[in-house]
Each structure stands twice: as structure tokens, then as C-alpha cells.
A and B are shown apart, each in its own frame.
Chain A
Amino acid sequence: MELIVASAIGILTAGGIYLMLRLRTFPVILGLSLLTYAVNVFLFASGRLTIGAPPVLRDDMTVYTDPLPQALVLTAIVISFGMTAVVVMIGLGAFLGSDDDHVDDQPEDEDEQTEGQS
């Protein structure tokens, strides 16, 4: 079980980093989302893995899984939605404004360069 979760984190991270290094906004956003999954699962797993013991108090239970990472990851999931939305909006705005969805600055024209320096 531990191997499965750890390798899932590894796969998600690898995929996330690869996509994050792409040149266009959309794959980069998807890469960030994959990294988000990886980080959330990683944080969640810091409470170690327990099967069948949700942190909901029951009279007949004595063992529960660690609730704190869950609470932290829960807000992280919601915040990551907000973050993704902002990044998507910025990427979209840049694309709509310039018809270009590169994430790197493109080489500028001579005019623009002098303008930028003044």
C-alpha cells in the first residue's frame, strides 16, 4: 500500500514537472494541477496510511487516522482551485491580448525594446 501511494506521488510529480516545463500556457496549467495533486497527497500521507479508520469519533472505535493533515489538505484543495482559476485567467488574458500563449517572453521587436528601456 505504501509503495502504491509513494509511487503515485512520484508519477504525479514527474508528470507535473514535465508538463510544467512545456512552452504553452495550457500544458503548464495542467502540469501545475498534477503537481497540486502530488503535493496534496504527499501532505495527506504525512499522517501515515490507515485503512478503515476515518477520524469520525465512534463509541466502538479506538484507533483513528491522523485528522490534522486531512484538515490542512482540505483547505489546500479548495485554495488550489482558486489558484488554478487565477492562473488560468492570467494565461487567458495574456492570450486574448496578444494571440500568443507562450509562457516565456518572446524576443521583442527593435521598437519595443527601446521603448521598454526608456
Chain B
Amino acid sequence: MSLFLIVALPFFGALLPGLMNAAGRSACAGVTFTVSLAAFFGLLTNLPAILAGEVVMARVDWIPSLGLNFTLMLDGLGFFFALLILGIGLLIIAYARHYLSRKDNMGEFFTYLLLFQGAMVGIVLSDNILLLLVFWELTSLSSFLLIGYWKHLPEGRQGARMALTVTGMGGLAMIGGMLILGQIAGSYDLSVILQNRALIQADPLYVPALILILMGCFTKSAQFPFHFWLPHAMAAPTPVSAYLHSATMVKAGIFLMARMWPVLSGTPEWFMIVTTAGLVTMVLGAVIALFKHDLKALLAFSTVSHLGLITMLLGTGTAFGAMAAVFHILNHATFKAALFMSAGIIDHGAHTRDIRRLGGLRTLMPVTFVIATVAALSMAGIPLLNGFLSKEMMLEETTHTVLFGIPWLVPALATLGSLLSAAYCFRLIGHVFLGPVRDDYPAKPHDPGSGLWLPPGILVVLVVVIGVAPFLAEPFVKLVTASLLGGEAEVPKAYFKIWHGLVPALFLSIIAVVGGLILMTVFKPLLRLWETTPRPEAKVIFEGIVEAAARLARKVILGLHNGAFTRYAAIGSVAIIVSGLYAWTTGTVAPPTRAPQPAGPVPIAGWLMLAAATCGMVILHRNRFLSLILIGIVGLMVSIGFVFLSAPDLAMTQFTVEVVTIILLLLALNFLPNQTPVESSVLRRVRDAGVAAAGGLATFALAHHYLLRDAVSTPISEFHLANSYKGGGGTNVVNVILVDFRGFDTYGEIIVLGIAALLIYALTETLLRGPVRARLLNREPDQPRAGDMHPMMMVVLTRVIMPVVLMVGFYIFLRGHNEPGGGFIAGLIVSIAVVMQYMASGFAWTSARLKYPYHGVIGAGVLVAGFTGIGAWFVGEPFLTSYFTYVRIPPFEKFELATAALFDLGVFLSVVGAVMLSLESFSRLARRAHVTDSEHPMDIDPSRDDLATGRTETVNEGA
């Protein structure tokens, strides 16, 4: 199967569980399982190639200019991790089906799980490091959703937040590191980077890149000092913990270290940082794990500890260390996933995970006992189980590792870690399963159905099989190791066997196991000692840092952003004026090149009216109704100005927009107070007037300056004028620009317009559902209402001219390509025709006669325009390429057919829909407020406001 498909399957499959939610829990889990299984088999089809030592590649260029390509690569290492992710994923899905209760939304859970799975597979198959980063961030996000899946639990939310913060910051560091690495190697493709070990390690930026990348790996894999997030992520449902913390998420950091091993390892810096961090994590995690009472917390810290072990092995930089790491990754995934699932089973059966409240479950839950014990013994490093083998390889490796020049340091610490590890494993078995049966369990413990124990059971079988017959795993582990080493070192010859003879590692192993047993005998006093020792709590420190950062941010934000809009507006205006002034004084001002044109009496008269209306608005703005009339005058003067200055299209648009805007503001004014009270001080008004005058002067100076000078370079309009008819088939250049040359712009604009209208609709809906509704219903209109709600003259007139207006709109639309007009203007004209019906005949009458909802009209418009654009693809042209031809059907004259007209139709529909939806939303507010539904036009409102009793009746009817 193609690698693309393997990565894509979980992502596309993530759509399914949500859809199958209604079909039942088994269907939901089944479809998830099928998707994973398909990806799993897809992966297996590549097995022969991997076994033959080939590297499977798949490549699609995405953004080649950035070096970001969708390149996937499957080699032994990637195959190994993908196998773990998908294989254990299958078991987890089966387990989760039985684990989640009926209250949990299963579709949501499996959607997140599949998203996570896809992202993980993406990481391990990426060949491009930028692509890898994309998937890396996706795992952070999807694991955030998974950890916080139980939204009702505060610990779940906090744990998810902490995980996201820590891994997200690590991811940020890693982006920096990867970019440096790509710059050094000259390519963002892993296959190239992996070949350039010498070049990269010699570069002065090697150390910064290494540290940044390791930050990403350490945060993800919970290495000291970033280990603290992992235990808090345990608030997640157990299947999530089992999946994220055994086989996937935390292994992503390990994977990356393994992936980068051929280029980054082997230097003193790598050795010091990675080995030290790994050792510290290993010992620290084991100590904390020993004293945890929550089963999952114990397992979480043991995971931290084992990840430290693997990190330490990778840090040694030797081929044997790398092989031991690969083997331990495999073994850890099997026994840890089984243990997590067992913890979930115990929680399920006994309703507690507190070790202090458990004990004696051996006879009550025999199946679980066997599974958990085998897995735990494997983790402790008992022979004949797989954990023993890799742990012994680890100890063997440590005897050759010298850190800080002290030969015994690493073996001693590693043995201490193993000893503690054995101790907590024994504690898990002893305190949970052995001992007397108690009678105070929160619930009666019992073995679950096979759906819950079978998945961990399968893993435990693997634990035993590998443990008894390690030679079965040997070829595979060596294959993976070979691809990890990437030809930088030889795969070690060492054989995988249980008995190596009396080597030092065996003695260390024995010390660890026996020491662990001894530790258990003195556990109680140790615990008392542990509990009385003060120690820093990572969560408190983390929250302290977050709280301090939030406090600082709040202080800065509240200082700058105090909610005073007028202040922002004033600061913004002054800033713009000052920077403009700076540019003006520092730039060069050329002499005028255009002669001023004389102005006749008509422009001067228009200017006087515009100036008077604007000044009137400023002076009389407290009378809101009057200022609305004045702004109408301003708009009218602007329209006339457009006519005068050779812009007929603009004039028509401005004029029609003016009409709908005034209607809109009138509708709003219906609810708002009619007067603006005097609030601001004289000083403030003087200040505002000063700012306004400065702004006005600035724009005046700028406009006057460039109106008298020609453009510095030839405007691109020359091209438009020359090609409008030849290329676009229209003589109205403005319209051809809109629907053809810059059609993509227009397409975006009608979408924006549609979104604005939908936003208004949504706001109205929210208002009408919320507490505002009651207010509206009880509102007393502050103006006396007309007794004649639908005046007969107006009703007759609007109905008669409706077809005429529609005809005009149609005409304007058709001629738009060659004469002033087009979709925008026609849409506005038709909207006005419809609004007139609303105004004259009433809301109910008009809406009853409308067939199509306005949302649909907007959508249809956008779709028509979009499909017109897509149509160009079928003839091999780019999006929105237009085509036109001339046809002649007798007895008509020859006429033009252009795809641009179809696009303009989309514009037309969107404009009609958007304008009408906005106005309709506003009038719905008014309608609910105090107007009763009336089917009849030309009626008389009996509830005039001079009849006080009548009005209350109306209100009741309206409710």
C-alpha cells in the first residue's frame, strides 16, 4: 500500500467514528478498528521490501520553494515504530470499546484517537523534517484532546494543559533546531541530512541545533527536567494512558533521537547531555515510582524511568547501545501497555487504583493477576521474560560507559535504577495481588470480560515468547538497528540469548533483583522516611511559573487595553498622523506635474453641500435622526461626485448602497435612544477636535499632493484598458476587472460579504434566544406608532413597481459587461425592490411570498461563482479563467455569451442574499418587539399607542 494511504487512512478515518456514533458503541469501535486494521495491513504489505533492506519512498511536492515537501520514507526504524503504533493501537481500540462507559462519547474518543494515530504514523514516516514538525505539533494537539477527554475532571483539564504547554514549548524549540539543521545540510530532507554527519558535526551551529532538538525530544519523552507532565497526564482514561505512554507519544522523542542518531550522536556534547539526562531520569523516576500509591502514577513514573533508560542507551553513541535501546523499546511497549491495561481492569473491577486499598486480588481476579504479574516481572528483569534480556544488554553496555571520568558511576547508577525498578514491580505484585483478601474494597473485584483482558493477554504472550525465544526477535531488532545506525557503524554481532555466561551484567542483574526484594522488606519505614522528607513538587513550581507569566501578561494587557475604545481610536489616529508627518518631512517632495483643473459652479455647489452636511453632523450629532438625514446628503454628494469624475459604476453602487445603509441605520435607531446625551467635557471635545482637524489636514495635504502629480511608474491600468475587449470581451473596463482580471479578489469579497451577513444573522438569533428577548417583548416604543401600518398608497405603488424594478435590475445586470452596471449594482437594486415590499406590505406578508431563504441565496451565489471558476479547470486553464464567444440566433442580433456573466450572476446572488439577510435580521428584532403578525396588507393597527390598554394586549399576542 502506498505510504500516503497509510498516513492518510487514520486522518480520513477520523471522520467516521463521529458519524457512526448514533449506530451504537460497537459500530463506532468497529469502524475505528477497521480503519486501523487497514492501515496496519497496508504497512505489512511493505514488509518484504523492508526485509530486503530497501527504503520505500513516496514524494509529492508541497511548497518546494520553502523546502517543504510531502515526502514519506519507510525504512526499518520507521517500520518498527509504525508497527508499534498501529499494532498496539488495534489492541487499545478493542480495549477502549469495553473500557469506556455509556456516559462517554465514544465517537469523540475514537476521533481523537485516530487523529493521534495518524499524526504519530506521520512522524515516523516523514522524510522531510518540516513535515515531521507538522506531524509533531499534531501529536501535541491531539494528545491534548485525548488527555483532557474527561472534560468534567479538573485534573484531566490541568493535565492536558500541562502536557500541551510542556510539549508545545519543546516543539517550538525543536522547530528552531530543525531549521538550523536544514540550513547546515542545505536540505530539509532526512535522507540528505542523514548523509551529512561530518558536515553537520563540524558546523559551529551544531551545538545550538543539538540542544534545541534535544529540548523537543526531552519534553516529548518526559526526560528530566521535563518529566513532570507525564504523571499528570494520567488523568486521562486508561486506554489513552496505555497508548500514549507505552508505545506512542512519549516514544516520539525517543524515535527522533534514534532517527537523528547517525548525524547527531557520537560527539562529546551528545554523550554528556543525553546520557546524563537519561541516567538522572531513570533513577529519579524509579525512586518516585516506588512511593506512589496510585497504580497509574506508579506506572507513569516507571515509564519516565524506562524512557530514561532508553535515552541513556542512545546517548552512549555505540552501536551496541543503540541495539539495546531498540530492543528495550519493543519490550517496554509490550509489558508497559499490558500493565496499563491491567491497571485499568483493576480500576474497573475494584473502583480504586490506590494500592493501599488493594491487596489479595490474586484469588478474586486470577486472569488479571497472571497478566499483570508476568508483565511486572518482565519489567523487574526476571529471566525468561523479555524485560530481562534488554535490561541485561543495558547493564552490559553501562560497564563500558565512562561518564565524568568515573568508570563505576554509570554502572552503579544503572544498577540502582534497576534495583528500584525491581522494587516497585515487586510492590505492585505484592501489595495489589498478594496478601490476604480484604473486605473493604470500594466494589467487589472480579475479572472482566474477554474484551478487556484479551488485549493485554496478547501482549503478555509476546512478553513470554520473546523472553523464552529471543532468537525470534533478533533478526528484526538487528534490521531496525541497522537502519537506525544508517551505515555510521556496524550492527553488533552479539547474539540474543538468555545465558551469556558469568558476565558482569549478570551479577549486576542479580544485585538489582535481590536488592529490590530486600528493599521491599523494609518498605514501610522507607515510606515513612519518604513522606517526611520535604521535596520540590514539580506541579507547584510549574503552576507558579504559569501563574507568574499570566500575572505579568494581565498587567501589561490591562495597562494597554483598558476597554476605552475612544482612547485606542485617539491613540491610533495620532500615531498614524505622526508617522505620516515623519514620512512627509523626511521624504523628497517633487514639484507638481499636473495642472489643476478648473472647477465649475456645479462641483463647488456640491462641495458646499457636502461640507455643510458634514459640519452639520458634527455640530448636531446629538440629534441622531437629523444626523442620519445629513449623512444621506453626504452619501448623495459623494455619488454625484463619482458621476462627475467619470465613474458611473461607482456612482450607481454608492447610490444604491446609500439607500440600504440608511434603511439599516433607521432600523437600528428604532431601538437606540434618539438623543446622544452631553457627557464629555469641553476640554475633551477640544482635544478630539484637535485630533480630527490634524487628521483632516493630513489627508487633505496628502490627497492634494498626489492629485497634482502623475504616478511614478506607469499604472497597470494600461494593460486593463488594452485587454478589456480583446481578452475579456467587455467594454466596461471596471466590470471586466471585477469579473475577469481580478475575479479572484471579487470571489473573496462576495464570500466576506456573505460571512458578514451570516454573522449578523447569528447575532440576531443569539439575541432573540437570550434574555434580550424578554426585554424586546416588553419594550415600549418611544415614538408614537403610525395607525396605518401598511399605507394603501405605498402598498399599491410598491407592488406595481416591483416588476419594473426587477426588470431594471435585470437590464443593469445584463448590460454590465459593456455598459455601467453589473452584478453588484443589479443585486443592490433588486434588494431595494424587495425591501420596499417589506416596508410597505409588512414582514409577514413578504416572507410568506419568498420561496428561498437568504442563506441559500448567498450560498448559491458563492457556489455559482466558484463553479464558474472551477469550470476553467476542465479545459486545462487556471481557476477563474474566462471564456466568451459571439452567437447569433435569428431574428436577434449577434450577442455575446461569456462565462464572466455566470460569475457575475454569482456576485449578484451573493449581494442580494447578503443585503437581504442583514436587513431581515434587523427587522426581525423589531418584529418580535411589538408588531403582531399580520397577513393582511392595508390594515389598520387597532392598538394605537393612544389606547394604553390595547398596547399591552398586543404585547401578549406577540409573546
Interface set of A (CB-CB < 8 Å, partner B):
1-30, 33-34, 37-38, 40-42, 44-58, 64-68, 70-71, 73-75, 77-86, 88-93, 95-97, 101, 103-105
Known: A82-B752, A105-B562. A49 touches B707 (CB 8 A): yes
Q: Which of A29, A70, A93 has the most CB of B within 10 A?
A: A70
Chain A's nearest CB lies how many Å from the CB of B770?
7
Known: A22-B566, A49-B707. A74 touches B824 (CB 8 A): yes
Bound CA–CA A74/B746 (angstroms) = 10
Which of B564, B642, B668, B749 is in CB contact (< 8 Å) with A88? B668
Chain B's nearest CB lies how many Å from the CB of A34?
7
Q: For residue B646, which residues in chain A have a CB less than 8 angstroms away from its CB?
A: 50-55, 64-65
Choose the segment among B65-73, B145-153, B716-724 that binds chain A (4+ C-beta atoms closer than 8 Å).
B716-724
Choose the segment among B332-340, B404-412, B627-635, B949-957 that binds chain A (4+ C-beta atoms closer than 8 Å).
B627-635
Least CB separation from B753: chain A residue: A82
Bound CA–CA A8/B606 (angstroms) = 10
Least CB separation from B749: chain A residue: A75
Q: For residue A47, which residues in chain B have a CB less than 8 angstroms away from its CB?
A: 715, 717
Q: For residue B60, which residues in chain A have a CB less than 8 angstroms away from its CB?
A: none
Chain B's nearest CB lies how many Å from the CB of A92?
5
Least CB separation from B754: chain A residue: A82
Contact (Cβ within 8 A) B752 A68? no
Choose the segment among B89-97, B535-543, B615-623 that binds chain A (4+ C-beta atoms closer than 8 Å).
B615-623
Chain B's nearest CB lies how many Å from the CB of A86?
5
**Per-residue A-contact encoding for B563-599, CB less than 8 Å = 1, 0 else:** 1111101100100000000000000000000101111
Contact (Cβ within 8 A) B704 A6? yes
Which of A16, A48, A49, A68 is in CB contact (< 8 Å) with B737? A68
Contact (Cβ within 8 A) B707 A17? no
Chain A's nearest CB lies how many Å from the CB of B899?
18
B905 CB–A CB distance under 8 Å: no
**Per-residue A-contact encoding for B852-888, CB less than 8 Å = 1, 0 else:** 0000000000000000000000000000000000000
Known: A54-B648, A97-B772. A48 touches B594 (CB 8 A): yes
Q: Which of B692, B720, B911 has the most CB of A within 10 A?
A: B692
Contact (Cβ within 8 A) B617 A15? yes
**Per-residue A-contact encoding for B661-693, CB less than 8 Å = 1, 0 else:** 100110011011100110110000000110111
Chain A's nearest CB lies how many Å from the CB of B672?
6
Chain A's nearest CB lies how many Å from the CB of B755?
8
Range of interface residues on B (Cβ < 8 Å): 35 or more
Chain B's nearest CB lies how many Å from the CB of A5?
7
Q: For residue A79, which residues in chain B have a CB less than 8 angstroms away from its CB?
A: 749, 752-753, 756
Q: For residue B621, which residues in chain A have a CB less than 8 angstroms away from its CB?
A: 19, 22, 27, 30
Closest 7 CB pairs of A and B: A14-B696, A105-B563, A10-B700, A82-B756, A6-B704, A18-B692, A71-B737
Contact (Cβ within 8 A) A66 B697? no
Contact (Cβ within 8 A) A56 B720? no
Choose the segment among B50-58, B207-215, B218-226, B650-658 that binds chain A (4+ C-beta atoms closer than 8 Å).
B650-658
Choose the segment among B118-126, B415-423, B759-767 that binds chain A (4+ C-beta atoms closer than 8 Å).
B759-767
Which of A19, A46, A84, A105 is in CB contact (< 8 Å) with B661? A84
List, sorted by A's number, 7 A–B pairs whose CB atoms are closer than 8 Å.
A12-B614, A14-B693, A65-B646, A65-B647, A78-B824, A101-B672, A103-B565
Known: A1-B599, A56-B820, A81-B657. A74 touches B695 (CB 8 A): no
Which of A27, A66, A78, A90 is in CB contact (< 8 Å) with B676? A27
B725 CB–A CB distance under 8 Å: yes
Q: Which of A11, A28, A30, A74 has the most CB of B within 10 A?
A: A74
Within 8 A of A (CB), among B691-719: 691-693, 695-701, 703-704, 706-708, 710-711, 715-717
Q: For residue B677, which residues in chain A have a CB less than 8 angstroms away from its CB?
A: 24
Q: For residue B706, which residues in chain A have a CB less than 8 angstroms away from its CB?
A: 45-46
Bound CA–CA A49/B771 (angstroms) = 53
Bound CA–CA A38/B720 (angstroms) = 26
Bound CA–CA A68/B734 (angstroms) = 7
**Per-residue A-contact encoding for B125-160, CB less than 8 Å = 1, 0 else:** 000000000000000000000000000000000000
Q: For residue B648, which residues in chain A have a CB less than 8 angstroms away from its CB?
A: 54, 56
Known: A10-B703, A13-B696, A50-B646. A67 touches B569 (CB 8 A): no
Chain A's nearest CB lies how many Å from the CB of B605?
11
Choose the segment among B349-357, B465-473, B917-925 that binds chain A (4+ C-beta atoms closer than 8 Å).
B917-925
B645 CB–A CB distance under 8 Å: yes
B611 CB–A CB distance under 8 Å: yes
Chain A interface helix/strand/loop/mixed: helix
Within 8 A of A (CB), among B749-786: 749, 752-753, 756-757, 759-760, 763-764, 766-767, 770-772, 775-776
Q: For residue A9, which residues in chain B have a CB less than 8 angstroms away from its CB?
A: 699-700, 703
B644 CB–A CB distance under 8 Å: yes
The number of inter-chain residue pairs (CB within 8 angstroms) is 315
Contact (Cβ within 8 A) A85 B918? yes
Bound CA–CA A48/B772 (angstroms) = 49
Contact (Cβ within 8 A) B700 A7? yes
Bound CA–CA A47/B645 (angstroms) = 11
Q: For residue A41, which residues in chain B have a CB less than 8 angstroms away from its CB?
A: 638, 641
Bound CA–CA A31/B824 (angstroms) = 25
Q: For residue A51, which residues in chain B have a CB less than 8 angstroms away from its CB?
A: 597, 644-646
Q: For residue A80, which residues in chain B have a CB less than 8 angstroms away from its CB?
A: 657
Contact (Cβ within 8 A) A1 B597? yes
Bound CA–CA A1/B617 (angstroms) = 24
Known: A34-B631, A81-B660, A82-B918. A54 touches B820 (CB 8 A): yes
Q: For residue A96, which residues in chain B have a CB less than 8 angstroms away from its CB?
A: 671, 767, 772, 775-776, 925
Chain B's nearest CB lies how many Å from the CB of A40?
8
Bound CA–CA A56/B817 (angstroms) = 10
Contact (Cβ within 8 A) A86 B688? no
Least CB separation from B822: chain A residue: A74
Chain A's nearest CB lies how many Å from the CB of B684?
9
Bound CA–CA A79/B597 (angstroms) = 32
Q: For residue A21, which residues in chain B have a CB less than 8 angstroms away from its CB?
A: 566, 569-570, 573, 688, 691-692
B800 CB–A CB distance under 8 Å: no
Contact (Cβ within 8 A) B645 A56? no
Contact (Cβ within 8 A) A49 B645? yes
Bound CA–CA A49/B647 (angstroms) = 10
Bound CA–CA A80/B700 (angstroms) = 22
Which of B599, B676, B759, B911 is in CB contact (< 8 Å) with A24? B676
Contact (Cβ within 8 A) B661 A1? no
Known: A10-B697, A23-B679, A54-B647. A66 touches B717 (CB 8 A): yes
Known: A1-B598, A19-B618. A64 touches B707 (CB 8 A): no
Chain B's nearest CB lies how many Å from the CB of A87?
10
Q: For residue A73, which residues in chain B have a CB less than 8 angstroms away from its CB?
A: 647, 650
Q: For residue A105, which residues in chain B have a CB less than 8 angstroms away from its CB?
A: 562-564
Chain A's nearest CB lies how many Å from the CB of B463?
49
Given A26-B669, A77-B654, A78-B653, 14 new contacts (CB under 8 A) = A8-B610, A17-B692, A21-B570, A22-B676, A34-B617, A42-B703, A74-B824, A78-B657, A78-B824, A81-B660, A85-B922, A86-B756, A92-B672, A96-B925
Contact (Cβ within 8 A) B598 A89? no
Contact (Cβ within 8 A) A19 B617? yes
Bound CA–CA A41/B610 (angstroms) = 13
B23 CB–A CB distance under 8 Å: no
Q: For residue B921, which residues in chain A have a CB less than 8 angstroms away from its CB?
A: 89
Least CB separation from A42: chain B residue: B703
Known: A34-B614, A51-B645. A18 touches B564 (CB 8 A): no
Contact (Cβ within 8 A) B693 A44? no
Q: For residue B189, which residues in chain A have a CB less than 8 angstroms away from its CB?
A: none
Known: A5-B707, A23-B680, A67-B721. A82 touches B603 (CB 8 A): no
Contact (Cβ within 8 A) A5 B631? no
Bound CA–CA A84/B756 (angstroms) = 10
Chain A's nearest CB lies how many Å from the CB of B877?
22
Chain B's nearest CB lies how many Å from the CB of A1?
4
Q: For residue B642, which residues in chain A have a CB less than 8 angstroms away from its CB?
A: 44
Q: Which of B564, B660, B733 has the most CB of A within 10 A?
A: B733
